[in-house]
Amino acid sequence: MKTASIICLLTVSTLFANDFLQSQTRPLPIIVTCRESSLRGSYVLQVQNSSNDKLDLWLQAKGKVSPLLLPAGKMVEIGWAQGYRFDANNLFLIGGSGYDTIRQVMPNVELSLMRLEHRKEGGFELSFSQSYVQKKAQDFKLPIKVSYSRGDIEIKEVPQMELREGSNRMYAHCVVEASGARGRIPLTLSFIPEYIPATGQLVASQIQIEKSDQGIVLQQYIDFATDLVNAFLPAVFSNYVLYTVPKSLLPAAKLFRVHDASVTDGRLVLAIF
């Protein structure tokens, strides 16, 4: 990806009235852009003061609020060095006393599919983007067909993976074809990423059916659902390996465990120590 600045121009004017929170205050005399960080695979927020006065503002993003002081006619950059690692689609708000508050998101272009960092508390933090999670679903060896007592269960299409903010589970939207049921059945499945020290792999664990995308009450199909879980899902998700530790690091990696998993700012984040 080219390192040229990605412009998400947010000139405060009536053209962007829908992006402002309703108020009786003045528009902010600022121009907001963003660029790629040269080192950390994230975005850097750029806020330009277009007025001749110093602005005493605030920035709300990544679950915290910080003061934002803009000298007259100057630009300030906020990124990982200032404690804000902006990823694709991250929401941020800028406001100040007597001014409108603007609300915008970072560009829909992911700069870092996978990221490994040291944790302040010790150990490591491994995170994956939505695009990375979906890309790994391409590893499914399709079609997958399993025979059971009532017929065959088959999946022919790559599952659509989903990361839900705040959840410790990963979700997969699948279309299942079963000879013991009528037609194609869309289902939402979920699982927890589990680390296997012996192989250094992150795999799917605790797989369960969440619901049908068409509102089917699965209790009405309890026999089919049981067969699906017992005979089919392990066969499908045995192919889903989220990450494999390089062989050179495997001896050390055997000492670590995943102690926490959650989706934060659109990324699956794993605490490893």
What is the three-state SS of 116-128? Answer: EEECCCCCEEEEE
CA 67/CA 58 separation, integer angstroms: 4
Instruction: Mark whether 240 and 123 lie in a shared domain.
Output: yes
Residue 197 lies in a domain: yes
Instruction: Mark whether 159 and 84 lie in a shared domain.
Output: no
Domain boundaries, position 248: 114-272
Q: Which of 105, 126, 152 is where one domain is finished?
A: 105
Instruction: Mark whether 154 and 187 lie in a shared domain.
Output: yes
SS3 category, 103: strand
Whether the predicted pLDDT of 22 surpasses 70: no
Mean pLDDT over 145-158 rounds to 79
Mean pLDDT over 121-145 rounds to 88
pLDDT classification of 227: cutoffs 50, 70, 90: low
Residue 9 lies in a domain: no
Task: Answer whether 174's CB lies under 8 Å from 186's CB.
Answer: yes
Instruction: Mark whether 166 and 211 lie in a shared domain.
Output: yes
**pLDDT score at 225:** 60
Give buried/exposed letters for 27-47 (b at 16+ CB in 10 A, else e): bbbbebbbbbbeebbbbbbbb
**pLDDT score at 152:** 78
Instruction: Mark whether 266 and 176 lie in a shared domain.
Output: yes
How many domains are contained in the chain?
2
Residue 1 lies in a domain: no
Instruction: Mark whether 228 and 181 lie in a shared domain.
Output: yes
Q: Which of 41, 71, 105 is where one domain is finished?
A: 105
Give the domain CATH number at 73: 2.60.40
Residue 4 lies in a domain: no
Q: Which of 55, 86, 105 is where one domain is finished?
A: 105
Instruction: Mark whether 158 and 259 lie in a shared domain.
Output: yes
Residue 212 lies in a domain: yes
Q: Which of 34, 113, 38 is nearest to 81 (CA)?
A: 38
| Mean pLDDT comparison of 55-59, 81-85, 164-168, 180-184, highest-scoring range | 55-59
**pLDDT score at 211:** 59
Task: Answer whether 181's CB lies under 8 Å from 224's CB.
Answer: yes
Residue 24 lies in a domain: yes
**pLDDT score at 92:** 97
Residue 123 lies in a domain: yes
Instruction: Mark whether 101 and 125 lie in a shared domain.
Output: no
Instruction: Mark whether 255 and 216 lie in a shared domain.
Output: yes
Q: Which residue has the higher pLDDT, 3 or 160?
A: 160
Whether the predicted pLDDT of 245 surpasses 80: yes
Instruction: Mark whether 145 and 85 lie in a shared domain.
Output: no
**pLDDT score at 117:** 81
Instruction: Mark whether 122 and 87 lie in a shared domain.
Output: no
CA 224/CA 253 separation, integer angstroms: 40
Give the domain CATH number at 251: 3.15.10
**pLDDT score at 13:** 35
pLDDT classification of 86: cutoffs 50, 70, 90: very high
Instruction: Mark whether 124 and 62 lie in a shared domain.
Output: no
The angle subtended at Cα 46 by Cα 11 and Cα 87, nearest 5°, is 105
Residue 156 lies in a domain: yes
